[in-house]
Amino acid sequence: MSTIFVTGGAGFIGSALVRLLIAESDWTVVNIDKLSYAGNLESLAALEQNPRHIFSRSDICEREALDQLFATHRPAGVIHLAAESHVDRSIHGPAEFIQTNIVGTYTLLEATRAYWLGLGTAEKTGFRFHHVSTDEVYGSLGETGLFTETTPYSPNSPYSASKASSDHLVRAWMHTYGLPTVVTNCSNNYGPYQFPEKLIPLMITNALAGKPLPIYGKGDNVRDWLYVDDHVRALKLVFERGLPGETYNIGGHNEKTNLEVVDTLCALLDQLRPRSGGRAYAELKITVADRPGHDRRYAIDAGKIGRELGWSPLESFETGLAKTVAWYLANPEWIAHVVSGEYRHWMEKNYSNRTTE
Ligand code: NAD
Ligand code: TYD
C-alpha cells in the first residue's frame, strides 16, 4: 500500500505536510479538502503536475464521498487535519466548528472503520488514523507549569471544545473498535502560507499595508510558538513510527507574550522593509478589546516525542520568524490573492485536471 490520505491538505499546516511528504517520502498523497475560506491550492502550486499528489475537493462530513475515496485509493492510513481552526471565528459562529470538527471527525472515523474492517490482517495492523489536534484542549496555564500528555482536558473556547470532542471520539474509536489511532497535540504554529487571520501573518500583512496592529487586552498572554516545518516533520514521524493508542505533545520551547511577538516582527520589518520617512512599524500597534474567555498561557512539554521518537525542533523562534517574514516579503502575490479573494478561483484555472470529485 503506497497511498495515504491527508485531510485539510490545502490549509496552512496540511499544505506544509503535503509538500514534505512529496519531497521526503514515497507516499502518494490523496489530499481531501473542501476548500473552505482557509483552503488555498495556490499554496500547492508547485505540486500541480506531480502524479503523487491527487487532490479531491470533498467535505469530511459527507460519508458517501469518503466511502468512494477509500474504495478507489485504498490508503495505508489517514492523517486528519481538516478543521475550522480560528478561535475568534469560533466565538462569532460556532456552528461550523461543531459540524466540521466534531461531526466531520465522526464521519471520517466511521468511513475509515468500515474500510479498515475489510483489510487483511497485516494491512489492518499497520493501518494508522492520525488525528492532528491542539494544545488548546488542555485549557489555560497560570504563570508556571507545562501541558503534558496526561494533563486533564479543560477546553475554554468553542474551537478548543470542538477539538477536545474530536480527540475523545478518536480515543473511543480506538478503545471500542480497535482502530489503530495516534493523536498529536501541538502548540501555536507559524510560517509561510498561513492565512492572515492568525496573529503572526495578520501583523505582517497589516504592517506592510500600513494598517493598525490590533493587540488584544494588554498583550501579555503567552503562546508557545512552533515553526510549521518542525511540526510537519513531527507529524510524519508520528504517523510512520508512533504507537497505536498513544498521544504525543509537540511544541517549540518558545514561550512569548503577544507583545514580544509583535515587537520582534516590527523590528524585523524595520530592518528588511523600512517604512518611508524612517517611521517605526511599532507605531502601528493599537490596543483593542480583549477576546472573551482569552486563555492566559499555553506551554508544551514535548519531552515524550523527543525521548520516544527522537524529534526536536530545528528552528528557534528567531530563525523561524526571520524565515517567515522573508517569505511574506518575497510572496506579495500570494498575499494579494488572499486579500482580494482571487485565491478562491485558483483551482478552476489551474488544478481542474488534477481533481477527483
Ligand atoms: P487551516 O484553517 O489553515 O486549514 C484547515 C483546512 O481544512 C482548510 O484547507 C479547509 O479548507 C479544510 N477544511 C475545513 N473544513 C473542511 C471539511 N468539512 N472537509 C474538508 N476539508 C475541510 O488550519 P491549520 O492551521 O492548517 O490547522 C490544521 C489542523 O491542525 C487543524 O486540525 C488544527 O486544529 C490543528 N492545529 C493547528 C494549529 C495552528 O497553530 N494553526 C496548532 C495545533 C493544531
Ligand atoms: P491566534 O493566532 O488567533 O491563535 P490562538 O488564539 O489559537 O492562540 O492568536 C494568538 C494570540 O494573539 C492570542 O493570545 C490572541 C492574540 N491576538 C491578538 O492580540 N490580536 C490579533 O489580531 C489576533 C488575531 C490574535
Ligand 1: nearest atom to the Cα of 82 = 7
| Amino acid present at 240 | E
Q: How far apart are CA 283 and CA 266, in angstroms?
A: 9
pLDDT at 344: 82
- How far, in Å, is the centroid of ligand 2 from the Cα of 290? 10
Which CATH number belongs to the domain containing residue 303 in this structure?
A: 3.40.50.720
Domain with 18 in it: 3-354
pLDDT at 35: 95
Q: pTM of the full predicted structure? A: 0.97
Give every residue of the chain whose pLDDT is below 70, as ranges.
347-348, 350-357
Residue of 136, 224, 229, 301 with catalytic role: 136
Residue 104 near residue 85, CB atoms below 8 Å: no
| DSSP 3-state of 31 | strand
| Amino acid present at 169 | L
Ligand 1, CB within 6 Å, residue ranges: 7-8, 10-14, 33-36, 38-39, 59-61, 81-85, 100, 104, 132-134, 163, 186, 188-189, 195
The residues, any chain, with a CB within 8 Å of residue 306's CB and separated by 6 or more, are 312
Residue 338 near residue 344, CB atoms below 8 Å: no
Phi–psi pair at 297, nearest 5 degrees: -150, 135
pLDDT at 357: 42
State the cell numbers at 193: 502560507
Q: Which ligand is nearest to the CA of 199?
A: 2
Ligand 1: nearest atom to the Cα of 80 = 32
Q: How far apart are CA 170 and CA 162, in angstroms?
A: 13
CA-wise closest residue to 131 among 94, 164, 87, 91: 164
CA-wise closest residue to 308 among 224, 237, 236, 227: 237
Query: Which among 5, 13, 355 is the best mutation to test ligand 1's pocket, defined by most ligand atoms within 8 Å of the CB?
Result: 13
Q: How far apart are CA 80 and CA 25, in angstroms?
A: 18
pLDDT at 342: 85
74 — alpha (psi -120 to 50), left (phi > 0) or beta?
left
Residue 80 near residue 130, CB atoms below 8 Å: yes
| Amino acid present at 135 | D
pLDDT at 181: 98
pLDDT at 47: 95
* Residue whose C-alpha cell is 530563525: 319
State the cell numbers at 63: 460519508
Report DSSP state, residue 291: P
Look at the alpha carbons of 284, 289, 295, 296 in this order and tell me if their dihedral is positive or negative. Answer: positive
Residue of 42, 59, 84, 135 with catalytic role: 135
Ligand 2: nearest atom to the Cα of 222 = 14
Please compute, for residue 243, the number of CA atoms within 13 A of its CA located in the half-sphere on the CB side.
5
Q: How far apart are CA 238 and CA 256, in angstroms?
A: 26
- How far, in Å, is the centroid of ligand 2 from the Cα of 198? 6
pLDDT at 280: 97
Task: Please list the alpha-helical segments (H only) found in 74-104.
Answer: 87-92, 95-97
CA-wise closest residue to 275 among 210, 342, 228: 210
Question: Based on the structure, what is the number of domains in the chain?
Answer: 1
The pairing of beta strand 181-186 with beta strand 247-250: parallel
Q: How far apart are CA 287 and CA 244, in angstroms?
A: 45
Residue 30 near residue 75, CB atoms below 8 Å: yes
